[in-house]
Chains A and B, each alone.
Chain A
Amino acid sequence: MPSTSSRAPDSGLTVGAIVDESVKTAMRAVEAADATMRGAVERGVDTAYMVIEEYMLRGRQAAGRNHERRNGRHEMNDERNGGSNSSNGGFGAGPWGAMNPMMAPWMQMMRMWTEGMSSFMPGANGLATEWMSQFMPGATMWAGPSARASIAVQVTSPYPIEVKADFDAGAEYSMLTAEPLRMRSDEDATLAVTLKCAPGLVRIGVTVPSGQAGGRYSGAVNDASGVKRGEITVDVESTATKVRAAAKKSGRKRSSAKR
């Protein structure tokens, strides 16, 4: 059995009481187990807790002996007794450490203030929230560095074109698909694009066939669940249409010259 004297401040229980709770959870999970088998469950969970507590204790002792901090942390933290526990969601290693619970209301106030202020700043929408989230571990927005991606565009076109791709912040690049692009003024005029996404790299392929009508084509980029996460716009220079018209015209001229 693990030591029952040490206390786990995160739950206010002794380690022994945590084991008892765990055994109860396990026992509730076992249907129609007879007395012998209930003993097996109890013994197994007790032994397992003993093994893991001893293992973690050895790690803490080794860390204490070495007094060696690597990247600002010990080899193994005493998270049952340290600043990081379930009352602060385990974010003891964050910027406020054990102060997290006390800092939370103040940080929430600061967040509201920065968001309020940013509403008066053109183009700052969302930036304040993103900036504040680095100080608020566990915020719903991802607290880590933002996932960035390079965008490569491969174009095959007889006409000058311009490709524009907009992706929402936080879009998961490896899960995106593109719908065919359509011209707003003529829904039947479409342009196929390919979208190959890998972490850190999005490859957009645009092939404009000869004779494609000039104009602006746009289409949605969706995530795995079909939610729109961005848009691709391709402007095919209207000379495409002109070139076609000019070719027709010169064809007529040539034929008239023959005559």
Chain B
Amino acid sequence: MIASTAAPEKLVSSVLREYGDATRAVMFDYLPTAEPRRYLYDLVADYPKRGGRGFRPSLCIATARAFGAPLDAAIQTAVSIELMHNAMLIHDDIEDESDERRGSPTMHVSQGVPIAINVGDMLSMLSMKPLLDNRRTLGTSLSLRILEETERMARESAEGQALELGWRRDNVNDVVESDYLEMVLKKTCWLATIHPCRVGALIGSGGMFDADRFIRFGFFLGAAFQIQDDLLNLVGDGKSYGKELGGDILEGKRTLMLIRLFEQTTPFERARLSAMLGQPRADRSPDDVAWVRERMDAYDCIDYARQVAHGLAGAAHHEFTLLYQHLPDSRDKRFIEALPAWVIERN
């Protein structure tokens, strides 16, 4: 385990709460309360109202503040990130055929797929408004730069999602660890960690810091985050996790544990696994999920993934040191330093 004490964990929790609350306070101003409420605007507020840790906006604000910017300078960008994240969650839930999100039925389960797609589209568009409003605090040039960054993040995320969906549709079973990590780099890391760090540093330095320097740090942190998320889907506490346990197996999601299982298993078991993943989701049974889960235990796939996540968290800490060594000590810098340990210990 990455060495950690109660103090950094407490710091992470309190900063997440503080910046999460600040983001939500402004975010709801961007959600219209006009008609049509029943089919659109009430639903647009649904996922944001369900809460969440506010990890992405907090990372953006903390990075900007670690570089010396005030919270006001970063809050609009943080709001945009959170809105975009919620938009993607709605579409992801449809694509993954997920039933639960943050402890309640997913948008498409409660409202139907067409309405849910439209709500996701609207949230994506609403996420642009705070970026335009950045002009008031950041000026035109830096605001435009952040818009460019957002466009790149959205492009990378969609490419990553395409890889994962394609592997599932075509039942691709020769995915190796490096393929998986590249998919995670695009699908998860750009939105969850790389983008918030990049735009935070741009805001904090007035556009002068080289944003590409955050790609490595964001990648290691985000990959450790994703692997831990996938682990929680198998071994997490059902109540606090908010989604159905074992749902990833049912969805046929290519996780590090599944890839490891393909590598370690016997030809007979591999054929059975491949056949099961080749079926439509509705035809996969709880018995199938239980069998895959049992095989993962038998081949130490879960411990393996946990150790890889620890390694990536260590690498993230290493890159943090290279990136932040020139910045003065601050609460925000300590928060970012504590994140690699936090992402692999959260439940």
Binding site for B on A (CB under 8 A): 10-11, 18, 21-23, 25-31, 33, 36-37, 40-45, 47-52, 55-56, 59, 70-71, 76-77, 79, 84, 86, 89-95, 134, 137-145, 147-149, 170-175, 198-200, 224
Q: Which of A29, A40, A71 is packed against the most chain B CB atoms within 10 Å?
A: A29
Given known A37-B307, A142-B70, contact A50–B178 (CB-CB < 8 A): yes
Q: Is the CB of A144 within 8 A of B177?
A: no
Residues of B within 8 A of A (CB): 1-3, 18, 22, 25-26, 29, 67-73, 75-76, 133, 136-139, 141-142, 144-145, 148, 177-178, 181-182, 185, 203-210, 212-213, 215-216, 219-220, 223, 300, 303-304, 307-315, 317-319, 322-323, 325-328
Question: Can you name the residue of chain A whose Cβ is closest to the Cβ of B209?
Answer: A90
Within the complex, the shortest CB–CB distance from B42 to chain A, in Å, comes to 23
CA distance A44 to B305 in the complex (A): 9
Least CB distance, B212 to chain A, in whole angstroms: 5
CA distance A28 to B313 in the complex (A): 11
Tell me whether A174 and B26 are in contact in the complex, defined as CB-CB below 8 angstroms, given that A91-B205, A144-B205 are known contacts. yes
Contact between B210 and A145, CB atoms less than 8 A apart: no
- A137 closest partner in B (C-beta): B208
Determine if A145 and B206 form an interchain contact, defined as CB atoms under 8 angstroms apart: yes
* Whole-angstrom CA separation of A70 from B151 in the bound complex: 14
Give the CA-CA distance A198 to B216 in the complex, in Å: 34
Contacts of A23 in B (CB 8 A): 311, 314-315
Please measure, in the bound complex, the distance between the C-alpha atom of A143 and the C-alpha atom of B313, giving whole angstroms.
Answer: 31
Residues of chain A lying within 8 A (CB to CB) of residue B207 = 93, 144
| A144 close to B215 (CB less than 8 A) | no
Q: Please, which residue of chain B has its CB at the minimum distance from the CB of A51?
A: B181
Cross-chain contact B314 with A29 (CB below 8 angstroms): yes
Cβ of A29 to closest chain B Cβ, rounded Å: 4
A172 CA to B26 CA in the complex, in Å?
A: 14
Q: Is the CB of B322 within 8 A of A44?
A: no
**Residue pair B311, A199 in contact (C-beta under 8 Å):** no
Contacts of A134 in B (CB 8 A): 206
Contact for A147 among B25, B72, B313, B328, CB less than 8 A: B72
Q: Who on chain A is nearest to B4 by CB? A: A29
Instruction: Enumerate chain A residues within 8 angstroms of B3, measured Cβ to Cβ.
Output: 29, 31
> Given A47-B178, A142-B70, A170-B70, are A147 and B311 neighbors across the interface (CB < 8 Å)?
no
How distant is the Cα of A36 from the Cα of B260 in the complex, in angstroms?
14
Chain A proximity of B240: nearest CB distance (Å): 25
- Least CB distance from A148 to B in Å reads 7
Q: Which of B71, B139, B209, B223 contacts A145 (CB 8 A)?
A: B139
Set of chain A residues within 8 Å of B70, measured between Cβ atoms: 142, 147, 170-172
Q: For chain B, what secondary structure do more than half of its interface residues adopt (helix, strand, loop), or is it mixed?
A: helix
Which B residues are CB-close (under 8 A) to A52?
185, 215-216, 219-220
Q: Are B206 and A84 in contact (CB under 8 A)?
A: no
A142 touching B136 in the complex, CB below 8 Å, given contacts A23-B311, A33-B307, A84-B210 = no
Residues of B close to A147: CB separation below 8 A = 69-70, 72-73, 137
The chain A residue with its CB closest to the CB of B310 is: A30
Q: What are 15 contact pairs spanning A and B, CB under 8 A?
A: A22-B319, A25-B315, A30-B2, A47-B178, A55-B185, A55-B215, A56-B212, A91-B205, A137-B205, A143-B67, A143-B206, A144-B205, A145-B142, A170-B70, A174-B75
Contact B314 A47 (CB under 8 A): no
Q: How far is the CA of A149 from the CA of B92 in the complex (A)?
A: 37
- Distance in angstroms from B140 CB to nearest chain A CB is 10
In the complex, the answer to whether B208 meets A30 with C-beta atoms within 8 Å is: no
A91 to B206, alpha carbons, bound, how many Å? 11
Task: Give bound CA distance, A50 to B312, whole Å.
Answer: 13
CB distance B313 to A29 under 8 Å?
A: yes
Known contacts A51-B178, A142-B68; A40/B73 CB under 8 A: no
A174-B72 in contact given A47-B181, A93-B208, A144-B204 (Cβ < 8 Å): yes
Which B-chain residue is minimally distant from A11 (CB atoms)? Answer: B322
Tell me the nearest residue of chain A to B319, going by C-beta: A22
Q: How far is the CA of A47 from the CA of B322 in the complex (A)?
A: 20
User: In angstroms, how far is the closest chain B Cβ from the Cβ of A31?
Assistant: 5
- The smallest beta-carbon distance between B326 and chain A, in angstroms, is 4
> How far is it, in angstroms, between the C-alpha of A142 and the C-alpha of B72 when the chains are bound?
12
Given A30-B1, A48-B315, A56-B215, 17 more pairs with CB closer than 8 A: A11-B322, A26-B315, A30-B307, A40-B304, A40-B311, A43-B177, A44-B177, A45-B311, A51-B219, A52-B185, A79-B210, A93-B207, A142-B204, A144-B206, A148-B137, A173-B72, A175-B22
Are A44 and B1 CB-contacts (below 8 A) given A71-B145, A84-B210? no
* B contact residues around A25 at 8 Å (CB): 314-315, 317-318
Q: Chain B CB within 10 Å — which of A50, A76, A138 has the most?
A: A138
Inter-chain contact A143/B315, CB cutoff 8 Å: no
Given contacts A48-B312, A92-B210, A137-B208, contact A142 B215 (CB under 8 A): no
Residues of B within 8 A of A140 (CB): 68, 328
Q: Whole-angstrom distance from the CB of A208 to the nearest CB of chain B?
A: 28
Bound Cα distance from A138 to B323, whole angstroms? 12
- In the complex, what's the smallest C-beta–C-beta distance from A34 to chain B, in angstroms? 10
Cα A44 to Cα B227 with chains together (Å): 12
- Whether A93 pairs with B209 at a CB distance below 8 angstroms is yes
CA distance A95 to B213 in the complex (A): 18
**CA–CA, A140 and B145, complex, Å:** 23
Nearest Cβ distance between residue A87 and chain B, in whole angstroms? 9
